[in-house]
Structure 1
Amino acid sequence: MNSTLAEAVVAGAGGQDLKDLPVPDSFTAAVVRACDVSMFQGVEDKDVRKSLFVEEVPMPELAPDEALIAVMASAINYNTVWTAMFEPLPTFQFLKRMGKAGGWESRHDLPYQVVGSDASGVIVRTGSSVRRWKVGDHVVVAPAYVDEQDPDTHRDGMLGEGQKAWGFETNFGGLAHYAVVRASQLMPKPALLTWEEAAANPLCASTAYRMLVSERGARMKQGDVVLVWGATGGLGSYAVQLVLNGGGVPVGVVNSAEKASLLRSLGCEAVINRSELDDGDPTALERPDGWKKMGAAIREAVGEDPHIVFEHAGRKTFGASVFLARRGGTVITCGSSTGYEHTYDNRYLWMRLKRIIGSHGANLYEQCEVNRLFSLGHLVPALSKTYALRDVGAAARSVQTNQHIGKVGVLCLAPNPGQGVTDPEARAKVGEDRLRIFRERGR
């Protein structure tokens, strides 16, 4: 910890005390460097431990519509892995584009990028135009960084041309002691959660909510059968909870007996362990014979085909997803962690009247709706393991190699796990066993 301001935040100082303390000139952050963008050319294993560094960086100036957050905890998302692999393209291209826009955007074009798209913490400064938030507020950060002057933003925050993923397409992200966010990214931290529990949720939970529940997504209704790929991962673990909460029937796909057991403890009764279907062939789901085996397993588990397929893996599962959705069903996709170039048999799409819907992130309203579900205890964090900021490379590597379940957290200014709960009564009502369900399995 490198400042009296940080020490005061950790000690629980109030807003006025925080205002009276100086903002440090620099802070500790996890960064990638522009000089390293070619380091993995021709390398098969692009090990992110080699490209992520924890070092001191200068404190940026604050724009009028921004807040400076003392970050207590953050989390690893796959976009941080992409950034650290410099794939599918170096994110410094995004920062250069921001720099060309001029004004406050030019601050982002630097030879390093502070990464991270999740955070919980305490507001320590606000810009002159921030009205709804004050120094001392406990907050979580919504990752959608939007252009409020773009007309399309007012139709849907995710449709504006200037919409970006904070900490991926911008600088000054959450894997650091301090982060710079727009006021339009702020939400109250759920009082029953610890810092690391609260930080694990915003990006993945809101993405899953928009995909399944929002009028802009699949519009899941009661009784819908929903196939969830990677059902114990960051996205899938929230998707399963949302399907159960909404009266749907989740069918979770996992790759081990341990993950299958975790899913059942969440309340997901229909679980398919793909390792038992593919006979050791990881490419089975890329062929029609593998699709048919999966379809038979789904019908055996729930008696019918899926109304909705929750798709985020991409190349290795997309053909199967289009095949597996029932006649008139929906494939909702938000990403392609196994590759962007998808192939599928179009006959199963057009002749059976199916739909493919693209979904990206979540607007602030959708984010706040999800945040409220955590505050009510209707959703629980998918946090399985927490690392110190100095070990961010190992944390990101565990996600890169799929050695994790749920979400992987990172402590930033918080010295230890378990801190930050301000409503212990609400926490007791939910129960420690339920709140820690992923950690008990992720040890």
Structure 2
Amino acid sequence: MEAMTEAVLAGAAGEELAALPLPAHYTAAHVRADDIGLFEGVADKDVRKSLRVGEVPMPEIAPDEVVVAVMASGINYNTVWSAIFEPVPTFAFLRHYARQDPWSARHDLPHHVLGSDAAGIVVRTGSGVRRWHPGDHVVVATAYVDAEEPATHGDGMLGSDQRAWGFETNFGGLAHYAVARASQLLPKAPHLTWEEAAVNPLCAATAYRMLVGDRGARIKQGDVVLIWGATGGLGVYAAQFVRNGGGIPVGVVSGPRKAEAARRLGCEVVIDRQEIGLGGDTPAEVVEAGKRLGRIIRSQVGEDPHVVFEHVGRATFGVSVFVVRRGGTVVTCGSSTGYRHEFDNRYLWMRLKRIIGSHGANLQEQWETNRLIGLGAIRTALSVTYPLAEVGEAARLVQANRHIGKVGVLCLADRPGLGVTDPALRERVGEREIAPLMHRD
């Protein structure tokens, strides 16, 4: 074991970490450009065949960057997209980014280190970093923005050069070390373990912007909010934001196991997709499915939803537009079942509904979300962890939609349960409440 990793695992102080050399190579989950054609003509694009775990070179860091020793990370659906090289191989993102300047050129490599979530310890800071220091315990937010672009200062997500770290950039979080901009860092919640903290940034902040932030639906007390995929990575946080904000979360899930989890997370109404004729990725007949869904919701809460939390895409979007009430809002951040949506526009324009596109979260929204997590007001979506060596199995679980909540990946942490620095807060929140999906008995 090289000196830096040994010092990190021994709990060395920041001054010692700063004095040690970075390793020349490190272990990382990555895809290779040579494998881009791997799934041509293949029906089952199994991510276990394309995700590699092995040594990659440590890049030089820019003045505004940090190196984080990653204790734990998490699987997001963008890792699945990268691993199946769809909708386009992410090496295209890296090549495009590389044209900007010499620092950006580092990202254009024959390998792409993936991962858009991470929790760990800062071990090196660039010459321009002021607020963070070696030894700091952090989580890494996903939004990778250009501070010199004017739009970024109005809203980081509106900058034309905004990117998703570890998806549209290299050196992501599914690794022993990661390189991130200092503007991505947030203090790790001290009552959480590394793996509990690692899975939160992308999904929790995305849900916050969609529902709570002033650029999203801006839910209020009493709002009925329909949440597709209420036990998925996004839905778990959406249900909590709605419940905490005095709204009525209505969760749609697939199967009894997920229904039980949705109730545990606070959904007041839980609906199985089979009840409304949505059994797969193919869109149902919109009006009939929407009427069935609307009848169920009205029978349980007495009215139609004010807001629909939408990220499933092609299979559900038409129903979402139909079922939301007159003057209501559909807020969408993704399309896991397909990007081309069909809906009857009469139900949008004649009933004065709105569609809001939402993507990630800016740094202020990330901080607000992270504060709620640090207070214990938002629980982690972690349901299971895998070691980095088995990242292919972890990603396959998400690819096949066999998971609940978020799937964590242990990187430098050699076992679950490490990283808690405020055991008193952990005790007050309650071990079983911190990660409710880990305790399903």
Whether these two folds match at TM > 0.5 is yes
Deviations 1:10-29 (A, max 9, x none): 12111011122221100000
C-alpha change, 1:105 and 1:410, in structure 2 (3 Å) is same
What residue identity is the alignment partner of 1:213?
V
Q: What is the one-letter code of the residue matched to 1:24?
A: P
Superposition deviation, residue 440 in structure 1 = 2.0
**Contact 2:157 / 2:361 at 8 angstroms: preserved in 1?**
yes
Is contact 1:398-1:404 (8 Å) kept? yes
CA contact (8 A) 1:98 1:105 kept: yes
Structure 1: distance between partners of 2:61 and 2:168: 18
Mapping of residues 231-242 of structure 1, within 5 Å: 231-242=230-241
Q: Which residue of 2 aligns with 1:102?
A: 101
The answer on 1:54 being equivalent to 2:53 is yes
Distance 2:89 2:278 in 1: 37
Identity of aligned residues (%): 66
- For residues 103 and 64 of structure 2, the distance between their equivalents in structure 1, rounded to whole angstroms, comes to 10
Deviation at 1:410, TM superposition (A): 0.1
Contact 1:73 1:119 in 2 (8 A): yes
Q: Give the aligned partner of residue 332 of structure 1.
A: 331
Which residue is equivalent to 1:12?
11
3-state SS in 1 of match to 2:138: strand
Structure 1 pair 188–214 and aligned structure 2 pair: CA distance change class (3 A) = same
- In structure 1, C-alpha distance between the alignment counterparts of 2:83 and 2:428, rounded to whole Å: 40
CA distance in 2, matches of 1:70, 1:265: 34
In the alignment, which residue of structure 1 is the partner of 2:425? Answer: 426
8 A Cα contact 1:139 1:187, kept in partner: yes
Deviations 1:168-225 (A, max 9, x none): 0000000000000000000100000000000010000000000000000001111100
Cα displacement string for residues 339-392 of structure 1 (whole angstroms, at most 9, x for unaligned residues):
000000000000000000000000000001000001100001000000000000
Opposite residue 166 of structure 1, the aligned amino acid is: W
Partner Cα distance (2:206, 2:281) in 1: 27
Q: 2:212 aligned with 1:217, yes or no?
A: no
CA offset at residue 41 of structure 1?
Answer: 1.4
State the AA in 1 paired with 2:397.
Answer: S
Amino acid at match of 2:413: A
Instruction: Identify the residue that residue 165 of structure 2 maps to in structure 1.
Output: 166
Tell me which moved more, 93-102 or 196-205: 93-102
Counterparts of 2:415 and 2:51 in 1: how far apart (Å)? 22
2:248 is matched with which residue? 249
SS of residue matched to 2:139: strand
TM-aligned CA deviation for residue 282 of structure 1: 6.8
- 2:369 is matched by which residue type in structure 1? V
Conserved 8 A contact 1:285-1:291:
no
Aligned to 1:311: 310
Alpha-carbon displacement from aligned partner over 1:89-144 (angstroms, at most 9, x marks no partner):
00000100111112200000000000000000000000000000000000000100
How many angstroms does 1:280 deviate by? Answer: 6.0
- TM-score, with normalisation over the residues of structure 1? 0.98
Matching residue's letter, 2:249: P
1:344-359 mapped onto 2 (5 Å cutoff): 344-359=343-358
2:185 maps to amino acid: L
Query: Counterparts in 2 of 1:15-164, with a 5 A limit?
Result: 15-164=14-163
Task: Show structure 1 runs of 4+ deviating over 4 A.
Answer: 279-284
Instruction: Give the AA of the match of 2:20.
Output: L
**Matched residue type, 2:202:** L
1:343 maps to which residue?
Answer: 342
Aligned length: 441
Paired position in structure 1 for 2:265:
266
Q: Note closer, same or farther for the CA distance 1:177–1:223 as it changes in structure 2 (3 Å cut).
A: same
2:193 corresponds to which residue? 194
Is 1:278 paired with 2:277?
Answer: yes
Counterpart in the other structure of 1:411 = 410
- The one-letter amino acid paired with 2:171 is F
What RMSD in Å do the two structures reach over aligned CA positions?
1.2
CA distance in 2, matches of 1:286, 1:214: 33
- Which runs of no fewer than 5 residues in structure 1 stay unpaired? none
Q: In structure 2, how many angstroms separate the alpha carbons of the residues matched to 1:440 and 1:3?
A: 37
Q: What's the offset of the Cα at 1:285?
A: 3.5
> What letter matches 2:212 in structure 1?
V
Structure 2 gaps, min length 5: none
User: Which amino acid in the other structure matches residue 436 of structure 1?
Assistant: A
CA distance in 2 between counterparts of 1:206 and 1:279 reads 28
Tell me how far 1:279 sits from its aligned partner.
Answer: 8.6
